[in-house]
Chain A
Amino acid sequence: MKEKLVTAIADMNEDEAFGLVQAMLDGGEDPQLILNAASEAMSIVGQRFDEKEYYLPELIIAGEMMQTIGDLVKPKLRSEAAKSLKQGKVLIGTVAGDIHDIGKDVVSFMLDVNGFEVHDLGVDVPPETFVTKIQEVSPDIVGMSGFLTLGFDQMKRTVDAIREAGLRDQVKIMIGGAIMDEQAAEYAGADAYGRDAAAAVKLAKGWTA
């Protein structure tokens, strides 16, 4: 049944997947096993996204399936689920003045399924908040998303604030967003620009290997 569940989730068969989860729970199956199956399916989804078989619509459905399955399973968990070994910590947010979030959410999702511990600050995040959170969370990587042209200067201000707080050497910084490019990364003082979520994962893995 576990394999069937992995396939149903990875193939976007929502009704079948939820039916299987309920059947497994009703049959007394270990809830952790169900969560592990869901995680395995998410990795397949991530792989298909990398291979350009799946795109954002499939990531959205996968994310919503994960949430529904989590809601079904979590009440049955007796103790806190063991946290799998994380590759590294990433702090991510859309810069101040900008409330676009879809790209950032895709990157967060992909980093999470690829084994990173993701702290998502949301949107319209001022430089000071990035700094405070870096001090609190000690991430390996900071990701900044920006869709508007105001993002160029906001990213620069954020990197400057990180530097002034004496934290620049502790983090690698990547930027992304529809209008961003390598020149924007250089202007902002970031370490790299990632064109899409797959590039963000590649950068993150390279920096934490």
Chain B
Amino acid sequence: MTEKSPEELYNERQARVLAAARCQQPDRIPVFGPFQKYPYQFGGITFKQAMNDYALAREACHKFLDYFQPDVDFGPIFAYPAKAMETIGWKAFKWPGHGLSDDVMYQYIDGEYMTADEYDEFVYDPSGFMFGKWAPRQFTALQGFAQLPPWRRFMWTGWMNIGAIAGPEMQETFSQLTKFAGEINEWWGHQVQYWGELKEKGYPLAFAAWDWPPFDIIGDTLRGTRNVLADMRRRPSKLHDALEVATKIFIEYGSGAEGAPLPFTWTWVHKSTREFMSDAQFKEFYWPYLRKGLMALIDKGIIPVIYWEADFESRLEHIADIPAGKIIYHLSNTNFERAWDVLGGQVCLMGNVPNVMLLGGTPDDVKAYCKRIIDYTKGKPGLIMDAAVMLDEAKPENLKAMFDFTREYGVYR
């Protein structure tokens, strides 16, 4: 039997993943996922190395790709560019070599980057706020932006009021930005190179756009977790106004996937479990805005991939209110059987092999788990096998078991 060409493999994999995403029957259950830090562990390098040496990161991703052969692949996109982040001076982040040891995952520093009395300002002109206030708060290199008037005042002769550009803060900002742009272009160059290499090997790219739920845009980016949660009680109408704005931003961000061969917009959901808010709060502040945004993306032919972090069991019935065959829900700790009972066949479910099993269990444990959830679907399509949480550590034989077993046992007859 002749080997398939990369083009044939590419088309086969794309068709398989798209069919599963639409809850239509593919040849077999796809296996892939955002294996965050693990490819670098597998490739024998630290995460710090991956974040600083982009060619090495690409090499590790190829090693991972060649051995595990996921149906679609992310490549080194999760190995953020350390040099560029140092240059722009991202204050809200810690990463290996910058506040953290060499081989751990980077982490966001939750904080108040918009005060309670700045809601109106943000709603009035989100770009003006982000440029003139948020950016200088987040990045040490962008202090100069605080010196400039908002761009909305550039009409008629308003543009004459930019003398601050000659000042030392703005000059320093321009200098750092120019350096940053060079560094970020270098990183993007490596990403684009990988995408080409991926296609040459016969694999589609796993993502076309990234997004953040409206509530998390306000919570993660601006108010900080404690504040946004308290805002639901203290200033609900201000929060609602900001969420309307954030929904438009969500649609804008996610629309980047329109027209892509695999039109996946990946969205991580951070704040919506019952550990963060009640059912009533979820129904009032979280879901309506996210749903509005998702429907807008779906109308454009985009397939959102919603990564429902933690345990979503209490919310399943709410999030079932979405058109059939148009979206993928990734399950972390949510009980699979419960999720399938509510959503199976309507929404493609992805996940949820426990990470602690992939690290501390055995190949037989992993196979048994995969078999359990495959059997529960009773041959109905709409399942993608993946780890429960973005994978950082694992035993290679356990991950291989997830891939090999699913490829063999997950064939639709």
Interface residues of A (CB under 8 A from B): 12, 14, 52, 54-58, 60-61, 64, 97-100, 102-103, 148-150, 152-153, 178-181, 183-184, 187, 196
A12 in contact with B233 given A150-B392, A178-B309, A183-B357 (CB within 8 Å): yes
Whether the pair A179, B355 counts as a contact (CB closer than 8 A) is: yes
Q: Which chain B residues (231-276) contact chain A, with CB distance < 8 Å? A: 232-234, 273-276
Whether the pair B104, A97 counts as a contact (CB closer than 8 A) is: yes
Task: Tell me how many residue pairs across A and B have CB atoms closer than 8 Å.
Answer: 95
B278 at the A interface (CB under 8 A): yes
11 A-B contact pairs sorted by A residue (CB < 8 Å): A55-B275, A55-B278, A57-B277, A61-B234, A99-B109, A103-B275, A149-B105, A149-B359, A152-B359, A153-B359, A181-B356
B interface majority secondary structure:
loop
B230 at the A interface (CB under 8 A): yes
A183 in contact with B226 given A58-B233, A99-B107 (CB within 8 Å): no
B311: chain A residues within 8 A (beta carbon): 178
Whether the pair B104, A148 counts as a contact (CB closer than 8 A) is: yes
Complex: chain B residue closest to A61, CB-CB: B230
Bin chain B's interface residue count. 35 or more
B360: chain A residues within 8 A (beta carbon): 152, 183, 187
Whether the pair B226, A97 counts as a contact (CB closer than 8 A) is: no
A14: chain B residues within 8 A (beta carbon): 234
Complex: chain B residue closest to A177, CB-CB: B310
Q: Mark B79-110, 1 if CB is under 8 A from A, else 0.
A: 00000000000000010000011001101011
Q: Give the Cβ gap from A32 to chain B, nearest Cβ, in Å.
A: 28
7 closest A-B pairs by CB: A57-B229, A97-B104, A178-B310, A187-B360, A149-B392, A55-B278, A184-B356
A183 in contact with B393 given A99-B109, A100-B107 (CB within 8 Å): no
Q: Give the Cβ gap from A4 to chain B, nearest Cβ, in Å.
A: 20
A97 in contact with B310 given A55-B278, A56-B275, A102-B225 (CB within 8 Å): no
A178 in contact with B230 given A98-B107, A150-B392, A152-B393 (CB within 8 Å): no
Looking at the complex, which one of B101, B333, B359, B393 makes contact with A178 (CB distance below 8 Å)? B333
A60: chain B residues within 8 A (beta carbon): 226, 229-230
Whether the pair A56, B276 counts as a contact (CB closer than 8 A) is: yes
Q: How far is the CA of A153 from the CA of B105 in the complex (A)?
A: 14
Q: Mark B332-370, 1 if CB is under 8 A from A, else 0.
A: 110000000000000000000011110111000000000
Q: Give the Cβ gap from B63 to chain A, nearest Cβ, in Å.
A: 20
Q: How far is the CA of A57 from the CA of B239 in the complex (A)?
A: 14
Q: Which chain B residues (123-149) contact chain A, with CB distance < 8 Å? A: none
B392: chain A residues within 8 A (beta carbon): 148-150
Q: Give the Cβ gap from B273 to chain A, nearest Cβ, in Å.
A: 8
Whether the pair B233, A57 counts as a contact (CB closer than 8 A) is: yes
Whether the pair B94, A99 counts as a contact (CB closer than 8 A) is: yes
